[in-house]
Every structure is written in structure tokens, then in C-alpha cells.
Amino acid sequence: MQRQTDSAAQRIICATQINIQGGARCVNPDKTLRYGPAMKIIDLEPGDPRLESDLLPVLSELRPHLTPELFRGVYEAGHPQGLRFSAAYADDGRCVGAAGWRIVNNTSTLRNLYVDDLVTAAASRSAGVGHALVAHLDAHARAAGCHELELDSGTHRTGAHRFYLRERFDIVAFHFSRPLTAPEEPS
């Protein structure tokens, strides 16, 4: 169901909210969405202190190598390339989920929303956080005219794979990687 709103940005986000048990509704024009009675998802802009205080501890569960300095550097370089972060908050104010994502134009899918990172805090798993984040990203993708929502997942993350399949993602490709740095010499 689409709500009438005053803000163009809010109209875009509100127009595409679908398939969320309990529903989602816009609560204000600052890109904050509330999913069900106990969770809201906020798109965090560069310089927002919640990136490090709230989102980074959750993101570090997936990416333990990220220090605050490294995270700042990645976001500074990635934001002009389209990198964005969304944080899911429980009703008590705790950040319980994080998503890093970008809109990508390419020859294979033409336009897609690529998910760099998707993680739910360990203590909050199986409570609908991941589902709400996927729905939030789906809304962004549809509003941006994307044809697909895509992500890669490490082969060892079988629990995550079960989640993605439940969320109607298909396994459509293999992702290949070749390191460009030489291995360290043994001492």
C-alpha cells in the first residue's frame, strides 16, 4: 500500500514496500522505516557517528578485519562509487543488523542493487532482522529501477545460504577471485 507523502525521497521509499510480515511504514522523511512494532531501518550517511558506534560492531561480526580507521577509509573511497550502509535497530535502540550496498550498472544485468555486506548480530538472529533488511534493500532496488538484487556469499557460510534461499535468492553464478599481492615470505 502506498502512502501519500510530501517528500520525493520518502515517496520513492514508501512506494515499494512489499512482502514484510507486519508491514512497513515510513515514519518520517529522513529515510527511516519501521518494520513491524519493534524494528526500524535507517540509511546512514557519511559522517554519521552511528556508522562506527552502532553499525561497525555488527558489521565486524562478518568482517572482523575492519578497524574503525579502515572502515572510514573504505567508506570515504566507496561512497563516491555508490557504497551505502543501512542499519537495523531494535525497539530498545540497539543496532541488530547492517547492510552495505550499492547500485551497479553493468552489461550482464544492466542495473542491479549489489549487497556487499548483510549481517544480523549473533544475538538477534532468527528474529526477522535479515528478512527486514532484504525487504529494505528490495525497496531501494525497485525504486532505483534495478532488475535484480545480488550478493556473493562465502562458500563456508552454509547458514547464510539457507537464509538466502528462503528469501528467494537463486544461485546463478560462481564468483572467482585471484589475489594480486604476493604471499608473505616465511621468516
pLDDT along the chain (187 residues), means of 10: 33 29 41 64 96 98 97 97 97 96 96 98 95 97 97 94 96 93 68
pTM: 0.78
Scan for cell 549489489, then name that residue.
114
Closest CA to 117 of 147, 88, 148, 146: 88
What confidence score (pLDDT) does residue 83 get? 98
Count Cβ atoms within 10 A of the Cβ of residue 114 and give its class: 0-12 exposed, 13-18 middle, 19 or more buried.
buried
pLDDT attached to residue 39: 87
Using CA atoms, how far apart are residues 51 and 124, in angstroms rounded to an integer? 19
Smallest CA-to-CA distance from 133 within 41, 27, 44 is with: 41
Q: What is the pLDDT of residue 129?
A: 96
**Residue 4, pLDDT score:** 35
